[in-house]
Amino acid sequence: MLILLLSMAFAFLTTFFIAPYFMQFLRVGGVVGLDLHKRDRPKLPTSGGTCVAIGLLAGLLAYIGLTTFVEGPMPGTTDLLAVISSVLIIMFVGFLDDLNVKARAVVTKEGLDIRVGFPQWAKPLLTLPAAVPLMVVNAGTTMMFIPFVGQVNFGILYPLLLVPIGVIGASNAVNLLAGFNGSESGMGLVYLLGLGVFALAKGNFAAAIFLTAFAAVAGFIKFNWYPAKFLPGDSLTYLLGAVVASGAIVGNMEKIALIAMLPFGFEFLLKLRSRFKASSLGKLRNDGKLDPPYGRNIYSITHAIMNIRPLTEKQVTIILMAIEVVFVAIAVANVI
């Protein structure tokens, strides 16, 4: 337990102390994004996922190193190194997407200036390489529980089909529900902590993945909380999805992870109604609150929230975090 706490401290402190330097570096390099829910739409450094990835890397390597030298060779080292590889690959893809965002902007008929990176159809293909490290080490177990069916042995289809589907699906789903100060990192704190505490209670070594990632995100959220000074970018949303998918795979926690991430599944279905042309953003009013951008047409969970009544950006973020708390609780209760 002490080693895990030390590893979490490494992850938190690394992210917290390097974030200001990354902010300056990215701003000077022109890697910036518009904070669209502010009246003056300030340009803020983006791609905060790079800091979180480095913090996570520091934490997990500390966990592996301390465990190895204090307690001896640990089981699951290969899987943890595969997770690190997957996370770094997908962070790099997200960083490239953040770089590409400068070149592409779309002004919708509702008047929203939406910054976009790679085309939506390309993103699943670009995130596929992140699944390869988990596939080649044959991470996880091929036995899975299917509702109304029972235990099913997927055999070779598990690493070759289900693993890439899980990584691609989770990383792209998290990327769909974004755009509010603190929403991506705030929701990430909720599901990473929930999954991590559950894994720890069960003696599952995947707790190291989830809780170290939680600590890294906790080191970042100070800079991303309203009013944000640092935007997360696709490098963070892709990374968070990959962490959940890879942790669930190596820890055999697919069921609880799937339930905990259901809000992002609902977001996918809502975005599908618009053929992925709608954003999650709101329309800024003169009083600083947000109206749903498409009237009564709901293409995002955030649209449904704003249809209840106009809310501030911070209020929308807090409600999204509360929704995630409910689904994490449902996931834990369902599994227990």
**Worst-scoring range by mean pLDDT, 1-15, 112-126, 157-171, 224-238?**
112-126
Return the residue matching tokens 């701003």. Answer: 27
Q: List, for residues 33-55, the tens digit of each pLDDT value.
A: 888 888 888 999 999 999 999 99
User: What size, in residues, is the chain?
Assistant: 336
- Share the mean pLDDT of the chain: 88
Domain ranges of the chain: 2-138+156-335
> Of residues 181 and 126, which shows the higher confidence score?
181
Share of the chain above pLDDT 90, in %: 54
pTM of the predicted protein model: 0.90
| The predicted structure's pLDDT at residue 117 | 60
**Worst-scoring range by mean pLDDT, 47-61, 108-122, 189-203, 228-242?**
108-122
